[in-house]
């Protein structure tokens, strides 16, 4: 309000003031004398106003009932009127008019009817005045004049009846009946305020209507100005945010189109990825999306655990605030990109080589691995699902970039002739060269594969740690660096990732596995490199390698403890045997449930012929000791029993 000019801040009332500053009514000034005296309008008495209004009824009809109350006046004749009639008759002597009996009778009936109505009205008015005013009047008897000889006998009788009627119709006023003036009590304050509000609201309606028209016009002009400013500000924001814009079909209109589709998308999606910014004269003030469907892509992973329970995780669908111009455009862009991704997934789902898929209009179900299903659907939100959701966007952009590179590359003009028929079919439909669903399926299979490998390896680690055997585990699921992954997205090769698992037992024995997506596992042993093709093969390989590590550890401990007795230790397949003079100690490692470490030691010592002793790990009647300490104590006791001493 401070920025408005002073003339605009002035507020004048369009109503006439009727009360002063002290709340008293302001009288109406009629005149001002030369001496400066004000002459105000006098207030009329309601009773006097009523009397004057009733008196006008009789004055306008030619009778004064306040001076002549009796009905004789109806028969009196005015000499001036008679003279006028005679003068008129004298003037009409030159043109005599003869009236027939029927004309006279009709005129008489018409006049008598009107006179009867007038007589009734005046009689009723006189009675009302006599009752209200109670003004006694002199009882004068009017005399009936003789009728004219030219009138017929029937007309004289009717007129005599009409004239004789008022004598009995006007009774004398009752002197005992008097008028009393009653003053209406003043209303309460709230009623007075309400009445004043009604009076104020009803005044100067025309001025109020005119002021309302001016105000509505000013508001309409202001809204138009603000809408025009907002229109151009929105247009500048769109250009500043690098949204593609263009004119519509009508070159003269101020509406222009906004394109938010991807450059290498199909034509059907680019046509739908269009918005229109309407002019300020349109009813809508926001961006109009004529082909928007408002569907989003949701990725769900359904897994089943060992108990048969089903677990479902979904991705977190991001939503932008559509109250902002840029947010509305980004939401519409996400929707059209996800719709294009879903259309490509529908095409690729039927050609997957290793999995089965069910495809409908807005729903895809893929059996990615055992106990794992991938659901992809268009709907009106786990970390893995978010990765798949954003991975679809990256793979679609990669697909567009590689197709553009193939189209603009030097080999596009003269492509080589392929020798493989499958490649010929791929050249006919180049959009199947760079799939976006197969890498996601490979990723899910890779995750399931790693979960199973990790489960087996972790069971081995837990069992070794339970036996007190030191072990270190290094697991690198994705061995590529960030730069390598970005470079991989820009290459035309298959999108594969790899990693490794390293087990280090007793800080010297190492077991190393490498894997490549989706399900390739290679064991790097000390003697050879072996490809693992199944989980039972992996389990057997882990047990064999751990067993060799434990037997090597037993052999090293035996050599160090039986060095004074010149003991000999060696490994024979799945046994570790120690010999010295008069004694034999044989160790064998076995496994219980979940790779639990069990060991059996058979001791045959002096004197000859004595029955051998069998020792089990873990002991049944004792607490479970560490495996190395148990072997150490057993070898020491065996050396003592041989009689050689330490």
213-254 tens-digit pLDDT: 888 899 988 888 888 888 888 888 888 877 877 665 455 455
**What is the pLDDT, as a whole number, of residue 155?**
46
Q: How far apart are CA 439 and CA 452, in angstroms?
A: 20
Compute the average pLDDT of residues 350-365: 82
Asked if 376 and 362 count as a contact pair (C-beta separation under 8 A), the reply is: no
Higher pLDDT, 344 or 254: 344
Per-residue pLDDT for 356 more than 70? yes
Radius of gyration of the chain (CA): 60
Compute the average pLDDT of residues 422-448: 70
Q: How far apart are CA 130 and CA 123, in angstroms?
A: 11
Residue pointed to by tokens 């150490």: 632
Residue pointed to by tokens 């087990």: 503
Compute the average pLDDT of residues 526-531: 85
**What is the pLDDT, as a whole number, of residue 334?**
86
**What is the pLDDT, as a whole number, of residue 154?**
44
Band (pLDDT 50/70/90 cuts) for residue 522 is very high
Higher pLDDT, 450 or 186: 450
Locate the domains of the chain by residue range: 46-142+153-169, 207-277, 296-406, 441-545, 547-641
Per-residue pLDDT for 563 more than 50? yes
The CATH classification number of 441-545 equals 3.90.1150
User: Taking Cα atoms as reference points, which of 298, 378, 368 lies closest to residue 343?
Assistant: 378
pLDDT by residue (tens digit) across 402-429?
A: 888 888 877 654 445 444 444 444 444 5
Compute the average pLDDT of residues 139-165: 43
Band (pLDDT 50/70/90 cuts) for residue 514 is very high
Compute the average pLDDT of residues 384-400: 83
Mean pLDDT (the chain, rounded): 76
**What is the pLDDT, as a whole number, of residue 414?**
47
Coil, strand or helix: which one is 263?
coil
Per-residue pLDDT for 513 more than 60? yes
User: Taking Cα atoms as reference points, which of 287, 269, 281 lies closest to residue 326?
Assistant: 287
**What is the pLDDT, as a whole number, of residue 169?**
47
Residue pointed to by tokens 């508001």: 219
Per-residue pLDDT for 172 more than 80? no
Compute the average pLDDT of residues 507-524: 88
DSSP code string of 340-359: HHHHHHHHHHTT-SSS-EEE
Asked if 299 and 385 count as a contact pair (C-beta separation under 8 A), the reply is: yes
Structure tokens at 443: 């990723």
Fold of the 547-641 domain: TATA-Binding Protein (3.30.310)
Compute the average pLDDT of residues 515-522: 88
Task: Flag the least confident range among 52-56, 107-111, 348-352.
Answer: 52-56
Task: Flag the least confident range among 46-55, 58-67, 309-318.
Answer: 58-67
């Amino acid at each position: 309000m401070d920025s408005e000019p002073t003339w605009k801040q002035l507020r004048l009332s369009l109503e006439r003031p009727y009360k002063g500053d002290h709340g008293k009514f302001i009288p109406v000034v009629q005149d001002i004398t030369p001496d400066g005296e004000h002459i105000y309008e006098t207030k009329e008495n309601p009773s006097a106003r009523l009397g004057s209004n009733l008196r006008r009824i009789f004055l306008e009809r030619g009778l004064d009932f306040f001076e002549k109350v009796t009905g004789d006046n109806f028969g009196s004749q005015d000499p001036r009127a008679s003279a006028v009639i005679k003068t008129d008759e004298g003037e009409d002597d030159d043109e005599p008019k003869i009236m027939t009996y029927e004309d006279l009778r009709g005129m008489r009936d018409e006049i008598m009817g009107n006179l009867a109505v007038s007589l009734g009205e005046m009689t009723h008015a006189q009675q009302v005045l006599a009752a209200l005013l109670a003004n006694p009047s002199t009882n004068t008897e009017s005399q009936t004049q003789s009728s004219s000889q030219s009138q017929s006998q029937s007309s004289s009788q009717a007129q005599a009846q009409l004239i004789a009627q008022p004598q009995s119709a006007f009774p004398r006023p009752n002197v005992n009946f008097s008028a009393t003036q009653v003053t209406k009590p003043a209303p309460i304050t709230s009623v007075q305020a309400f009445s004043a509000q009604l009076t104020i609201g009803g005044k100067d309606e025309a001025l109020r209507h005119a002021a309302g028209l001016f105000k509505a016009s000013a508001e309409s002009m202001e809204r138009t100005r603000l809408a025009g400013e907002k229109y151009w500000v929105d247009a500048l924001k769109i250009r500043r945010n690098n949204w593609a814009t263009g004119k519509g079909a009508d070159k003269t209109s101020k509406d222009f189109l906004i394109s938010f589709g991807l450059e290498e998308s199909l034509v059907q999606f680019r046509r739908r990825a269009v918005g229109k910014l309407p002019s300020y004269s349109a009813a809508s003030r926001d961006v109009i999306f004529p082909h928007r469907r408002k569907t989003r892509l949701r990725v769900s992973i359904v897994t089943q655990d060992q108990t048969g329970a089903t677990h479902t995780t979904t991705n977190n669908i991001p939503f932008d605030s559509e109250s902002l111009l840029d947010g509305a455009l980004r939401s519409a862009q996400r929707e059209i990109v996800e719709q294009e991704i879903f259309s490509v997934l529908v095409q690729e789902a039927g050609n997957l080589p290793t999995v089965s898929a069910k495809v409908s209009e807005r729903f895809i179900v893929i059996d990615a691995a055992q106990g794992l299903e991938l659901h992809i659907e268009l709907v009106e939100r786990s970390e893995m699902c978010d990765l798949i959701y954003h991975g679809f966007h990256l793979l679609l952009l990669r697909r567009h970039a590689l197709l553009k590179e193939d189209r603009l590359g030097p080999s596009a003009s003269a492509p080589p002739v392929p020798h493989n028929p499958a490649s010929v079919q791929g050249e006919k439909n180049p959009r199947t060269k760079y799939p976006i669903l197969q890498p996601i399926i490979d990723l899910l299979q890779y995750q399931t594969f790693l979960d199973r490998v990790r489960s087996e390896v972790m069971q081995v680690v837990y069992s070794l740690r339970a036996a007190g055997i030191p072990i270190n585990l290094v697991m690198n699921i994705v061995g590529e660096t960030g730069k390598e992954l970005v470079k991989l997205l820009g290459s035309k090769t298959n999108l594969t990732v790899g990693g490794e698992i390293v087990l280090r037992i007793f800080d010297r024995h190492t077991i190393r596995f490498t894997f490549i997506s989706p399900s390739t596992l290679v064991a790097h042993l000390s003697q050879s490199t072996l490809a693992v093709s199944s989980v039972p093969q992996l389990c057997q390989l882990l047990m064999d390698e751990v067993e060799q590590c434990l037997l090597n550890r037993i052999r090293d401990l035996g050599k160090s403890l039986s060095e004074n007795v010149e003991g000999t230790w060696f490994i024979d397949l799945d046994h570790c045997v120690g010999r010295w003079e008069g004694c034999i100690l044989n160790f064998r490692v076995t496994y219980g449930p979940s790779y639990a470490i069990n060991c059996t030691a058979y001791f045959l010592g002096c004197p000859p012929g004595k029955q051998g002793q069998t020792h089990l790990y873990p002991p049944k009647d004792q607490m479970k000791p560490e495996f190395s300490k148990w072997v150490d104590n057993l070898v020491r006791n065996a050396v003592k029993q041989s009689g050689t001493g330490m």
